[in-house]
Structure 1
Amino acid sequence: MSRAFVKDTDADAVEDLPDRPVSEHPNDVTAEGLAQIEAAVAASQAALGAAQVAGDRAAMSQASRDLRYWSTRRATAHVVPDSDDTTQVRFGGTVTIVRDDGRKQTFRIVGEDEADPAKGTLSHASPLARALFGKTVGEVVPAGSGEAKIVAIGPGGKR
């Protein structure tokens, strides 16, 4: 077989991983969210350094990709200050809803990278958060396949 049809492989070569997708939504974050992003940048830098020392090209590729993502998120982060205004649902504030099935849930609306609904934080870009913004206690919003009534609005800050 001709060498023209044989792919040359370099055992040390590792292709760069594709970049992690970056959301098209504004990168609004809480102060805690910015701290989380900065910690992720530092962790990615440390992982890259360790991979370089070890000569682990796959780990270098992974760490480089993570560092590019977190550096972009840090560069575009816009810290939204906490507000004490509890008259309407706002970024960084907490909101308690009661769903059609009777479930009562409280969420703090935060940035995309810091959101974890299981821990009570909800991304500002989520459909539920977008439906809640600007609403007041007593209003009903679409929530999944049903609806939810806002029963309490609290200030921002760490939970």
Structure 2
Amino acid sequence: MSRAFTSNDDSGLGLNDIGERPVSPHRNLVTREGLAAIDAQLAELHEHFARAEAEADREQIALVSRDLRYWSARRENAELSEPDPDSDVVRFGMSVTITDEDGAEKTWRIVGEDEADAAHGTISHVSPMAQALFGKGVGALVTVGGKEWEIVRLG
């Protein structure tokens, strides 16, 4: 191949090496906060894109464009879902407090995939724990990862 058609840039990421961010095959359920976070992410990315274009930074343009495609797709197929406040069974968007056999208590809020952050008490609606909890009420037992949990409170 002629060198005329190859890049001489060895500074790192090649523009052709930027892969797409995978979009989940699951329904894109979101809370009201999750929808606002997507909108904020898109606004921030549009600002980054404008700066990268002004600086003619091709690598940044490619990276930001990839992220814009991802978040635009997530916004386009987002389904706002808010739980019935009177629900007596676990639904998307609710907080659920569970205890294990040793009495250790954990509270999770079930949210969309892009919102989930276990370190901050949120889990994705497609996680094994959320899947086990859906449709069950206080007093129900679920087994996840070989451990039994009891639902003690819904919020």
TM-score of the aligned structures, taking structure 1 as reference length: 0.87
Contact 1:30/1:82 (8 A) holds in 2: no
Q: Distance in 1 between matches of 2:92 and 2:79?
A: 12
Cα-to-partner distance string for 1:89-142 (whole Å, 9 max, x where unaligned): 011111000123432111111111111111111110101001000001111112
Q: Distance in 2 between matches of 1:138 and 1:61?
A: 51
1:28 corresponding residue in structure 2: 29
Q: Is 2:118 the counterpart of 1:127? A: no
Residue type of the alignment partner of 1:44: L
How much does 1:10 deviate?
Answer: 5.2
Q: Distance in 2 between matches of 1:61 and 1:51?
A: 9
Structure 1: give runs of 5+ residues left out of the alignment. Answer: 155-159
2:74 corresponding residue in structure 1: 73
After superposition, the CA RMSD in angstroms is 1.9
1:106 corresponding residue in structure 2: 107
**Does 47-56 or 123-132 show the bigger shift?**
47-56
What SS is found at the alignment partner of 1:61?
A: helix
Contact 1:15/1:61 (8 A) holds in 2: no
Deviation >6 Å, runs of 4+: none
Write out aligned runs for 1:4-153 (5 A): 4=1, 6=3, 8-9=6-7, 11=9, 14-15=15-16, 17-153=18-154
TM-score of the aligned structures, taking structure 2 as reference length: 0.89
Residue type of the alignment partner of 2:59: A
Contact 2:83/2:91 (8 A) holds in 1: no
Structure 2: give runs of 5+ residues left out of the alignment. Answer: none
How much does 1:147 deviate?
Answer: 1.5
How much does 1:81 deviate?
Answer: 2.3
Contact 2:35/2:75 (8 A) holds in 1: yes
1:157 corresponding residue in structure 2: none
